[in-house]
Amino acid sequence: MNGGRVATGQAAVDQLLEVLDLTPTGEMSFRGISPPVGPQRVYGGQVAGQALVAAGRTVDPERVVHSLHGYFVRAGDPAEPIAYEVENIRDGRSFSVRRAVALQHDKPIFFMSASFQRPEEGLDHHSPTPPDVPGPDDVPTMSERLARYPERLGMWGQIPRPIDVRYVGEPGWVRPGDRPADPHQRVWMRIDGKLPDDPLLHACALAYASDLTLLDSVLSVHGEVWGPGGVVGASLDHALWFHRSFRADEWFLYDCWSPSASGARGLASGRMFTEDGRQIASAVQEGLLRRVGA
């Protein structure tokens, strides 16, 4: 693994493809692994993406995922394989529904329902792209952001980076006091390399990316930050709707905001737009948010 260095760019993307390439252990069961270098608990987007891979492999490939709803119930151990068990809820004329459970030590750490639909024609509209948002080439790269905050390299340095993430405003991991309150958290993203032409794989990659910055928007409302002097948190549940075809290795804008926070929980909502203004997905997530030391 590059002498212990964290993979970036295409090397990190190839590693992500390995993580999403589950091993079949039965007709409706699979086994997944975590990256050899990573955080102390399994990243939520990883387990959601793997669960979607497991569910999707049991569905007619002509049927495309249009929604998923999941709950994170236990922290995952990245040193241990994850078992995925899929249940066929229904195969109808137009839709297929699956339930996937991720287990470690025979206990669920995540469970998800996902629905797949055969392509159909119908009404078509979507919300407009947020106005006056600079393009991905006009905002700082992650390396440029991190150069200003060397003390944060320890946190980001342990996470493989298969996604090129470019914040339009200040990230949630800057120093306390360096982040002005903002009702929106906007980020340009793309898989930082080339993906195969498999729609399910692109959907799984988008699911992986969708958990990365969504809860930042809850902190953004208050000008709060993650880590020392700020807040610690964890994803509680996650919902994602896929609206139109897309490639996850092409730029999309993740426009996020928080309608409510209370009881040490925050709700975040997000929309994803391609550079040419098509809305490709919507996400909603609730997270646990606690003051450091609380």
Q: Identify which of 150, 133, 82, 86 has the alpha carbon closest to the alpha carbon of residue 113.
A: 86
232 by DSSP, 3-state: which?
strand
Question: Which tokens go with 42?
Answer: 């399994």
In the beta sheet, which residues pair with residue 191? 163
Helix axes 199-210 and 9-20, enclosed angle (nearest 10): 110
How many other C-beta atoms are found inside a 10 Å radius of the C-beta of residue 149? 15
Question: Closest by alpha carbon to 149, among 210, 227, 219, 223?
Answer: 227
Question: Catalytic residue positions?
Answer: 211, 235, 285
Handedness of CA 238, 278, 190, 136 (dihedral sign): negative
**Which is it for strands 82-91 and 64-72: parallel, antiparallel or unpaired?**
unpaired
CA 25, 60, 192 angle in degrees (round to 5)? Answer: 75
For 101, the token pair is 């459970």
In the beta sheet, which residues pair with residue 99?
Answer: 87, 113
Instruction: Judge whether 86 and 63 are in contact, CB under 8 Å.
Output: no
